Structure formats: C-alpha cells, structure tokens
Amino acid sequence: MMERRLIKILKDDLSFLTSIRAYSSFYFERNLTAPGEFQIVLGIKYAEYFKEDYYIYLSRKKAFIIENVVEDEKKNTIVVRGKDVKSILNRRITIPPAGQAYQTLTANGETLIKNLVNLNCVNPVDTTRVIPGLVMATNQNRGETALWNSRYKNLAKEAENITTLTGLGWTVEVDQVNRQLIFDVIQGVDRSHGQSINSPVTFSKKFKNMKNALRSVNTGNYKNYAYVAGQGEGAAREVVTVTNGDDISGLKRRELVVDARDLSTTDGLFSRGNTKLTETVIVKNSEMEITNNNFIYEEDWDLGDIVTVQTSTGYESQRVTEVREIYEAAETIEITTGNPSKTVAAKIKEISTETNEIV
C-alpha cells in the first residue's frame, strides 16, 4: 500500500484549515482548456472540514474548489466532489461596456482572454462582481491573433473557445502564502521528436512508459466550410464563407451554417466562422496510462506540451490536453492527447442545436 498524498484544506478565504492523508480514494483531472473534476472518498468523521467553496490544495497549480459533499451514514463515509479552481470563471458572464453592444477586441489570444477576465472579474465596473483575491499574471502576448466579440456569454466557456482558437490553454493557480488566485494562460512546450530545441518526449510500448492505450478517430462531427449569416433579411442578409484550409471539394466538403445575426461587422462574421470550425474538428485522441520510467511527469513533460505518441501505424505528435491523477491502492497517471473526449462530447451537443438554414 502506497503512502497517501497529503492534501490541505483551505477555507474560502484561502487560509489554512487542516491537512488530511486518510482518504480511501482520490482522483482529479487537469484539463488544458476547461475545468477538470475531482472526487475524494474518506471517513465521515472528517465531514466538518469539507464545506462549499472550501479548497482542496495540493500545489500552486493543483487546487480544487468544493461543490458537493455527500454523507453516507450507512457506509460511514463522505464523498467530496467539485472542479479545479479555474471553474470560478463559470460564475461570471461577459457584460459589454456601457453603451456598447459587445466587448470587442482584435489581439493575441492571451490579451483577448485576459481582457475579458479583467473586465468581468478583476476590475469590473460593478464592484460586486469582483472575485476576491483574483489577480492577473503578466501578459506575455502569447497565442495567435484573432478578433473576438463577446456579449453575455459564460466566461469560462469564452476562455475555452478563445484559447482553443489561438493555440493556448488557461489556468488559475493558487498562491496560498499571499492568498491570491492567479489567472494565466498555458502555451505548452513542443517536445515532439520532430523538433530539436527541447528534449523530446515519446510515449510508446517500446520505451515501457505507456500502457492500456485507447485511440480514437471520429469524423462524424467534422465540418470544414462555414456559411456565416449576419444581419439583414432574405437576399439582403450578409453571408460570408469561411474554410479551415482542408480539401473542400466533392465528398470531402462538409458544410455548416452559422447564424450570426448578432454581429454587425464583416470581420466579426469571419471570426465567428473560424471559431465554429475549431469546434467541429476531426476528433482524434489517444488515452493511455503513463509510467514515470524515463520521462517524469511535471519535470520532463506537463499539461499542454506537445509529445510524440507511438500508434499502430507509426508516430504522431499530439498535445497533452488532459491529465488524470488517481490515488487508490496505487498511484496512476492517465493522459489524453489530442482532443479531450469530454470536451468533444460537449461540442457535439452544442453543434447539434445549430440552425441549419439561413433565413
């Protein structure tokens, strides 16, 4: 039996409450673009320490906020569930500046999302919207450039969409000493075997550092050509077309209609089309269990890095988009490279509600 990993419980003001190691099961997810989940099972005698909006703290970049506690007197246990700290952005929507229809900006991905977070959580006009302790990391102007319009959208979802579109991830880290929540983006490091700048990382059976691999390719939701309809009626309605650069002829052409009547500029229509096409990509991922035999997690590779994965047909370079740590009888690390399955499922559900005609 392995020694349990020590976890700290922090109050809602990030002050220290207690430390616990006596749990029977603990797992959590770190996701590049969306909040991950966690669950702890332990004795009911510890129930007094687990309250709504208290924090589970492992390290600066591994902290979680409690959302649900179930006490089972028959089993004499409690089950504690919630999401990682960046889920606090789910509690805000994007409110346009006074007198404007949208929060609009053309910039790199890091500037886009930090602008939205700053205006809605850190320095909002309505000070009751401030998330206590939330601060912004220094802007390094990372990510591809895009135009973004936002109006009454879920802020966490906007963070996911912007970072996906501009090649980034995002995080909220916990500075326990200063009792701060620090918003930042994740760019990741290219550790694929096709580059020579960074030490390459390859996961394969040959190197005995991965097992139980499950690979998936799904084109069922794939679109590569969007008709984006703006304002106007009938033949006078503005429609632009956007493609992702793939082959768009014959059966390879997969069309999508995007209703963007809320947008008043042509640039905005192109931006919306590009965003929708990033949500309808070919779902291609690998899920596997990783061992720290030759590449150490968080030292040689981490969430957001591009690594090489051996498949039945050769080697592929894919980004690590999710990491799951499981602590039970043994410690297990599982990763997803490519498209995170849960996020993709959510995208499919969203796209199924899209309009299929221009009116």
Query: Residue 49: helix, strand or coil by DSSP?
Result: helix
Residues 6+ apart with CB under 8 A from 195: none
**Gap between the Cα atoms of 201 and 194, Å rounded:** 10
β-pairing verdict for 255-259 and 225-229: parallel
pLDDT of residue 213: 85
Q: Assess contact for 187 and 141: CB atoms under 8 A.
A: no
- Do residues 292 and 238 share a domain? no
Which among 169, 139, 167 is positioned nearest to 36, based on CA atoms? Answer: 169
- Domain match, 106 and 229 both: no
Residue 43 lies in a domain: no
Joined together, the tokens standing for residue 6 give 């020590």
Q: Are 23 and 2 in contact (CB under 8 A)?
A: no
Predicted local confidence at residue 3, as pLDDT: 63
- The answer to whether position 354 is within a domain reads no
* pLDDT tens, per residue, the chain with 359 residues: 456 789 999 999 999 999 999 999 999 999 999 999 999 999 999 999 999 999 999 999 999 999 999 999 999 999 999 999 999 999 999 999 998 888 889 999 999 999 999 999 999 999 999 999 999 999 999 999 999 989 999 999 999 999 998 999 999 999 999 999 999 999 999 999 888 899 999 999 888 899 888 888 888 889 999 999 999 998 999 999 999 887 889 999 999 999 999 888 898 899 899 989 988 888 888 899 998 888 999 999 999 999 999 877 788 899 999 999 999 888 899 999 987 554 433 433 343 334 444 44
Q: Are residues 213 and 264 in the same domain?
A: no
Taking Cα atoms as reference points, which of 281, 287, 238 lies closest to residue 259? 238
Whether residue 310 sits in one domain with residue 179: no
Whether 16 is covered by a domain: the verdict is no
Same domain, 255 and 339: no
Q: In what order do the strands lie in the sheet with 239-243?
A: 239-243, 225-229, 255-259
Please choose, from the candidates 186, 208, 185, 189, the residue with its C-alpha nearest in 3D space to the C-alpha of residue 198.
Answer: 189
Residue 325 belongs to some domain of the structure? yes
| Pair (243, 166) in one structural domain | no
Q: Do residue 151 and residue 99 come from a single domain?
A: yes
Q: Are 212 and 305 in a shared domain?
A: yes
The answer to whether the CB of 202 falls within 8 A of the CB of 310 is yes
Inside any domain, residue 152: yes
81 found inside a domain: no
- Angle value at C-alpha 356, between 243 and 222, nearest 5 degrees: 45
The Cα 272–Cα 149 span in angstroms is 8
Do residues 106 and 233 both lie within one domain? Answer: no
Predicted TM-score of the model (pTM): 0.86
| Shared domain check, 342 and 206 | yes
In a shared domain, residues 264 and 250 = yes
Which three-class secondary structure state does DSSP give residue 295?
Answer: coil
**260 lies in a domain?**
yes
Would 359 be classed as within a structural domain? no
Residues 262, 314, single domain; the answer is no
Q: Of 247, 265, 280, at which residue does a domain stop?
A: 280
Question: Is there a contact between 11 and 17 (Cβ–Cβ < 8 Å)?
Answer: yes
The per-residue pLDDT for 346 is 43
**Alpha carbon distance 202, 193 (integer Å):** 7
Domain range for 237? 225-280
- Write down the number of H helices and E strands in the chain: 4, 21
Q: How far apart are CA 307 and CA 217, in angstroms?
A: 18
Which amino acid makes up residue 50?
F
How far from the centroid of its chain's Cα atoms is residue 127's Cα? Answer: 27
Q: Could you give the number of structural domains in the chain?
A: 3
